[in-house]
Structure 1
Amino acid sequence: MSKIHLRTEDRIAFITIDAPPVNALNEEVLHQLSITLDDIINSEIDVVIISGAGDKAFVAGADIREFSTLNKETGEELCKRGQSIFTKIERLPQPVIAAIDGFALGGGFELALACDFRIASSRSTFGFPEVKLGILPGYGGTQRLARLIGIGKAKQIIFSGEFFAAEEAFKFGLIEEITDESPIEKAKDWAEKIKQRGPLAVEFAKKAINTGIDLPLEEGLEWEARFFGELCETADKNEGVTAFLEKRQPKFLKR
């Protein structure tokens, strides 16, 4: 039985992680997620929304039962496998929105961090409990969290293993929006806005941000100018500028 469900609606892809009771990221779930992402990369999808099935968890971490026999070699392999899949999310040409409802812990929190931005219900809970198990976040958590909210706050969250509510996550800058409604519907609202924009422009903007974030400013600016120049030779740029001058809505080319 599939643990990852993919549904498409009007050029929006909805990926649902369905592994009761808490949507844990075991080996099979990660494998199916990787295949699903591969199917999306070169598709006609404009925006991707990732959520968890049920009303308890987005994803409440990895499957701890798989950790009991790990040694140095297999532990490192496990991390690299999870890291590669989450990096695949980060590098998708399409924007990826995490729609979080419930627990986003450990690997689930790391999954959310790999998305481009995050929308959470007010009842959601976040945290990295790995240190309580004698390990550390290994699917990119130590790296992405510090880059997103700063080293000090990231260390406080990871070292303590404490959980925190959506309101705190919003205050820290971990999520972009809190809602008392369905986070999937809120994410869909944003997806509808994004898909009206130039798809190449959105793709290149994502590449510019992701490429430059870890570089010195001067190098990041070089990449920004390079991507801008490439867009200047596209039909989308010509259509966008012409539509603006003609005071009409642009008709961008689709993927």
Structure 2
Amino acid sequence: MAVVEVEKPQDGVAIVRLNRPEVRNALNTEVRELLASAVESLNQDDEVGAIVLTGGDTVFAVGADLGEQADRDVVGAIRAYTHQAFWYSGKPVIAAVNGDAFGGGNEFILQCDFVIASGSARFAQTEVTIGLVPGGGATQRLPQAIGRQNALYALLTGLPLSADDAFRLGYVSEVVKGNAIDRAVDLAALVASRPRLAVRQIKEVVRLGLDASFEAGIALERRGYQLMFGTQDLREGFASVKEGRAPKFAGN
């Protein structure tokens, strides 16, 4: 049984699924390496326009595999495998979250572009409860997502946020009844149907703009706008509006 599964439920969409139910999808080195490999492969797959990251039906991921970490020394911690593959993915990544997303599981969600959650979803950075500091980006990305004070509340207490609270704070885009995966796949298909060069450029400008000054971010946006005038998809978009028909984008 693969601990990370990849499937393509419909045209343009790939699902990357955590599959270690016996340990509530705890994240060990094997899982982390397979996740990075899956994202790299899907970014090279021209058939895929958007990616959904999900876990099980009752738990997303409870965080790092403590059995793997318990005996590490400082050198082992320095050498431990981590990655930011979802953050740097050229293709959009949507998180579909059912149940608990704790520790490293929540840090993978923080790398995604937006989040669809079931009503039972919970989000937490629990590292402080065992004397650890987050190591997958939460101290930097969580304040960007929900603000400094809300992030410190979560980081310093280790208490979980409900799906409704995460929605209220702007961390979750939609809370759905039942399993989040169906809605996430529908949205991924919608995104995949959009002009792919424009989608890629929007994602890149937003990501780079987060670490730039406002003026630099506006300059990046302007350059992205200008580049689209060299694409056939923009010509098709203009023509479809003029002719009153649905556009047929080719991704070029």
Q: Identify the TM-score tier after normalising by the shorter chain.
A: over 0.9
1:224 aligns with 2:221: yes
Alpha-carbon separation, structure 2, partners of 1:29 and 1:88: 13
1:197 aligns with 2:194: yes
For structure 1, the residue ranges without an aligned partner over 5 or more in a row are: none
Which residue in 1 is equivalent to 2:6?
6
Alpha-carbon separation, structure 1, partners of 2:225 and 2:161: 40
1:70 aligns with 2:72: yes
Alpha-carbon separation, structure 1, partners of 2:30 and 2:123: 24
Alpha-carbon separation, structure 1, partners of 2:173 and 2:77: 33
Alpha-carbon separation, structure 2, partners of 1:46 and 1:18: 23
Deviations 1:118-155 (A, max 9, x none): 01110111111101111111111111101111111111
Which residue in 2 is equivalent to 1:130?
127
Aligned residues: 249
1:18 aligns with 2:15: no
Query: Could you tell me whether the CA contact under 8 Å between 2:123 and 2:160 is conserved in 1?
Result: yes
Q: Secondary structure at the match of 2:101?
A: strand
Which residue in 1 is equivalent to 2:204?
207
1:51 aligns with 2:54: yes
Alpha-carbon separation, structure 1, partners of 2:168 and 2:79: 34
Question: For residue 176 of structure 2, what is the amino acid of its counterpart?
Answer: T
Match of 2:245 among 237, 245, 248: 248
For structure 2, the residue ranges without an aligned partner over 5 or more in a row are: none
Match of 2:109 among 92, 95, 112: 112
Alpha-carbon separation, structure 1, partners of 2:78 and 2:236: 48
Q: Secondary structure at the match of 2:132?
A: coil
Alpha-carbon separation, structure 1, partners of 2:17 and 2:27: 12
Q: Report how far residue 27 of structure 1 moved.
A: 0.8
Q: Secondary structure at the match of 1:145?
A: helix
Alpha-carbon separation, structure 1, partners of 2:89 and 2:229: 22
Alpha-carbon separation, structure 1, partners of 2:79 and 2:148: 26
1:164 aligns with 2:161: yes
Q: Secondary structure at the match of 2:64?
A: coil
Q: Secondary structure at the match of 1:158?
A: helix
Q: Report the aligned-residue RMSD.
A: 1.3
Match of 1:31 among 30, 33, 43: 33
Alpha-carbon separation, structure 1, partners of 2:6 and 2:130: 33
Q: Report how far residue 225 of structure 1 moved.
A: 1.0
Q: Report how far residue 73 of structure 1 moved.
A: 2.5
